[in-house]
């Protein structure tokens, strides 16, 4: 992914790759209702003749460390998620595959529903006016932050989501 093509408002190429990977992971959560585990990624890549360590996968998803630009690895990931390899290889803004684009609103709605449900459970018995005000605020905030930011592909507290040891 060329650095010159990957910048988005000064975004580092690693962050662009992470955002795109997390979009893919979000789509899987939306489609099947459960997150992709590292073991699934590892097995899918091995079936395509590519190896990946847990640490490398974490740093790719997190957008930290060196930019991963291995075309064989990025192509294999795209094949696993059934998107055109250019999605991860080119890094040009605006080339989001139709399948991912069609799921973005759904993912956004799922996140909003999760947050609203949590707020209702946490706040307990609140007036309808207060609940409506909270819902409006959450909807405004969600509209300001596109769903492709940081994905919750692996829930916090899940062993797959923990920071691995240094590579």
Go through the chain and tell me how many residues it has.
167
3: nearest Cα among 102, 92, 70, 79: 92
Contacts 24+ apart (CB under 8 A), 31-37: 31/103, 35/152, 35/153, 35/154, 35/155, 35/158, 35/160, 36/153, 36/154, 37/154, 37/160
Give, as one character, the DSSP assignment of residue 46: H
Cα–Cα distance, 16 to 62 (Å, whole number)? 10
Mean pLDDT across 41-46: 97
Mean pLDDT across 83-108: 67
Complete DSSP assignment for 99-166: HHHHHHHHHHHHHHHHHHHHHHHHH-S--HHHHHHHHHHHHHHHHHS-TTSS--SS-TT-GGGSPPPP
Mean pLDDT across 74-89: 89
Q: 92-101, 108-117, 127-136, 158-167: lowest mean pLDDT where?
A: 158-167
Please indicate, yes or no, whether the overall pTM of this predicted structure exceeds 0.75. no
What are 3-30's pLDDT values in tens digits? Answer: 434 444 577 889 889 988 998 898 888 7
Q: Tell me what pLDDT residue 2 has.
A: 41
CA-CA-CA-CA dihedral for 85, 90, 93, 95, to nearest 10:
-30
* Residue owning tokens 């509209």: 143
* Residue owning tokens 């094949």: 79
Q: In the predicted model, what is the mean pLDDT of the chain?
A: 74
Between residues 58 and 161, the one the model is more confident about = 58
Work out the end-to-end distance of the chain between its first and last CA atoms, rounded to an integer number of angstroms.
22
For residue 141, pLDDT over 80 is answered with no
């Amino acid at each position: 992914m060329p650095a010159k093509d990957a910048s988005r408002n000064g975004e580092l190429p690693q962050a662009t790759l992470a955002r795109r990977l997390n979009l893919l992971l979000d789509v899987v959560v939306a489609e099947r209702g459960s997150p992709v585990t590292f073991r699934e990624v590892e097995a899918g890549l091995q079936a395509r003749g590519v190896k990946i360590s847990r640490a490398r996968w974490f740093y790719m998803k997190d957008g930290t460390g060196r930019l991963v630009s291995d075309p064989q690895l990025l192509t294999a990931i795209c094949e696993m998620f059934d998107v055109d390899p250019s999605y991860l290889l080119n890094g040009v803004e605006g080339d989001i595959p139709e399948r991912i684009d069609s799921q973005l609103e759904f993912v956004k709605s799922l996140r909003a529903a999760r947050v609203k449900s949590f707020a209702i459970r946490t706040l307990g018995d609140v007036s309808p006016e207060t609940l409506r005000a909270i819902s409006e605020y959450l909807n405004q905030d969600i509209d300001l932050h596109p769903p492709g930011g940081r994905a919750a592909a692996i829930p916090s507290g899940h062993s797959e989501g923990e920071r691995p040891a240094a590579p």
